[in-house]
Amino acid sequence: MTPTDTGGGGGALASALLAAFVGSGAVVLVGFFFPAFVGGALGGQTWLVLSLVFFGSGLGYLAALPYERTASADAARSADAARSLLRVRRGGLRPVLSEAIAAHDPVVLGLPVLVFTLYFGLQTVVPPATTAAVESLTGAVLRGFGVPLLGIVLLSVTYCAALLLGPWGDIKLGGEDVEPTYTYPTYFALVFTAGIAAGIVFWGPAEALFHYRQPPPYFDAAPQSEAAIGAALTYALFHWGVSAWSAYAVVGIPIAYFVFQRGAPLRVSSILTPFLGVDGLDSPWSRLVDTLAVFATIGGVATSIALVSQQFLAGVEYQWGVPPGEVGPVLFVGGMAAVYVLSSVSGLHRGIRRIAGLTVVLFGLFAVVLVAVGPREFVFERGASALGSYALHFVPMSLYAGADGGLGAGLVVGGSWVAEWTVWNWVWWFSWAPFAGMFLAALSRGRRLRTVVFTSVGATSAATGVWFLVFGGTSLSIQHAGRADVLAAIADRGGSEAVAGFPLLSALPLSELLLFLFLALILVFIVTSADTATLIASILASRRGVAPSSGSIVLWGGFQAAVALAVILLGGGETLQALAVLTGAPFAVLAVLAIVGLSLAFHREERGEGHTSIVRRALRRLPDIQTHHDLDPPDREQ
């Protein structure tokens, strides 16, 4: 990103946001932690507006706050900005907006807008017929593509393991003399927060409970039994572990390799470089891939915004008794759109990086407090057992597709646990792979492929695994011991998992603090993904060689919010699933093409470059170890 000045309008905006943050925060914090002092003075939608102003202005302040640049670092940062693949053209809003349409590729811009507009128009005019058509198409994709998708995900994990341990992991993106742009903690924070979004907060307290109520048929456990606890935690790890994160890596690493090693443009279509060549990336096939990437990015992130809006509004209603009504979703999505657009426009060095860092800090703080006040013995004991079960059963679970244990058996929509959970999860992760993979590629200049795999698959899945063991284990302990009936609370809300975290946290010590942190996590996680997705969509839709403008980012951020609102107000749960299926399935197929293309490139271009696997390095050290042993004194007792 191009650095921005430290003064001017940015400083004035930051001051205004800080004043709004302090003013609204004083009321919100008193009302949240000491509701008796406020009583019924504030009611209705006031609490919702105040809470959105408080959280939104705080995040907006981080995005708008100028950063100080020393004179010695200024030239280096300017040079880095010139090389940046994630630049934003700045200027006055009116001229930038007027140029935004002209700077877009008309196909990549027009087709996603047309498809979403047509879909939600039909959902408004003929909802029953549209819903029936969507369900039929979704069922066909899950039935026909379920088994191949299981194989693709296992292939992705295997390929990532080969890159991590094999000789090609030695390749340094950009060349041996290139240094990474960001420190490793910043690199991890950006990769993790962009790729996980608020799904980790949404499903953290709920998924294990659902598997406890209806155990995975693979383990053949009785519902709500002791055995169901282990099965529930194991499958929560499985759905959010290395299999899921590998979907991002097998798309992002080929993009990174062809961009930094072969000079391809930063586009998802760069995965076609081995087949079309760099000069052939203006072909209709490339534009089709980038168009699908924009569609997948908007569909995946917008539906996630819709999901977490339900969760945040459920939390406000739970805490203050404020029903969201029709205006609640509009306020939430509008407020979040303002924050993530500001963050995206402010740049990678400012809003995106800072909010990502804040997210990781809040994430760690919440987990530490939850461990401190929760059922630690239960969590540690059951968590260790689930980790062992996950490792032992990983390959069989990856291939399991039916109740009778046979591959391909029982994949029927509405009747198959695997289709409704595992296949749906894999398609959902692949719907995020274009923008998450492209962002991973842009951040990875100066990193070795082995480090990229370790971070984007190993470190991220470890973080999500700890989260689901702690949060999922806590929810199972509370439910199984009868301290709170979270499943009943979900049933009372019509089966909505959005409410799961609130009765659970209310049953623990320091519940007010946990609920406050939980609401904050919902917001920061979705902002850290939505700002990145908005930037990536703007880059993909811009003409090749043209950096996206601020107006382009506003355009795509607004469109993403409009899709989220349409999903909330018109679509329902079926639309969420349909959008995930319809956007994720094509990129699962493209991931296989990316793996084949990258392997061909390694075979043709990296042979004889002296790359060394981890295993060979370890073996080479064995003689040194033996030599040092021989130099030890023969008789230590003397």
- Angle ∠(298,304,309) on CA atoms, nearest 5: 125
Give 51's contacts (C-beta < 8 A, 6+ positions apart): 28, 316, 519
Which range has the worst mean pLDDT, 91-100, 192-201, 373-382, 510-519? 91-100
Q: How many CB atoms lie within 10 A of CB 114?
A: 10
Q: Is residue 615 in some structural domain?
A: no
Task: Please give the pLDDT value at position 431.
Answer: 86
108 band by pLDDT with thresholds 50, 70 and 90: confident
Write the pLDDT tens digit of every residue in 169-227.
Answer: 999 999 889 999 889 999 999 999 998 877 888 899 999 999 999 999 999 899 999 99
More confident residue, 610 or 160: 160
Confidence of residue 614 (pLDDT cuts 50, 70, 90): confident
- Token duo for residue 380: 């540690």
What's the residue count for the chain? 638
Mean pLDDT of 92-105: 60
**Orientation angle between helical segments 327-346 and 46-64, nearest 10 degrees:** 10
Cβ atoms 528, 361 nearer than 8 A: no
pLDDT value of residue 470: 96
- pLDDT, one tens digit per residue, over 475-487 is 999 999 999 999 9
Q: In terms of Cα–Cα distance, which of 195, 211, 160, 126 is closest to 422? A: 211
Residue range(s) defining the domain that contains residue 366: 9-606
Residue 632 lies in a domain: no
Q: Is residue 79 part of a domain?
A: yes
Helices (H), 374-447: 376-399, 417-418, 424-443
At residue 68, the pLDDT reads: 58
How far is residue 601's CA from residue 273's CA, in Å, rounded to a whole number?
9
pLDDT recorded at residue 172: 93
Of 10-19, 154-163, 442-451, 484-493, the range with the lowest mean pLDDT is: 10-19
Mean pLDDT for the stretch of residues 411-427: 74
Report the alpha-carbon distance of residue 503 to residue 487 in Å, rounded. 10
631 within a domain of the structure (yes/no): no
Query: Quick one: which of 77, 544, 540, 17 has its CA closest to 347?
Result: 77
- Average pLDDT, stretch 276-282? 89
Q: Is residue 623 part of a domain?
A: no
Using the predicted structure, report yes or no on whether residue 152 has a pLDDT greater than 50. yes
% of the chain exceeding 90 in pLDDT: 40
335, part of any domain: yes
**Most confident listed range (88-102, 356-370, 523-537):** 356-370
Rounded to an integer, the average pLDDT of 277-296 is 88
pLDDT (average), residues 402-430: 66
pLDDT over threshold 50, residue 72? no
60 within a domain of the structure (yes/no): yes
Question: Strands, DSSP E only, in 171-255?
Answer: none
How many domains are contained in the chain? 1
What pLDDT, on the 0 to 100 scale, is given for residue 405? 39
**Looking at residue 131, what is its pLDDT?**
76
Residue 624 in any domain: the answer is no
Is it the case that residue 153 has pLDDT exceeding 90? yes
In angstroms, the CA 445 to CA 452 distance is 10
Percent of the chain scored above 70 by pLDDT? 84
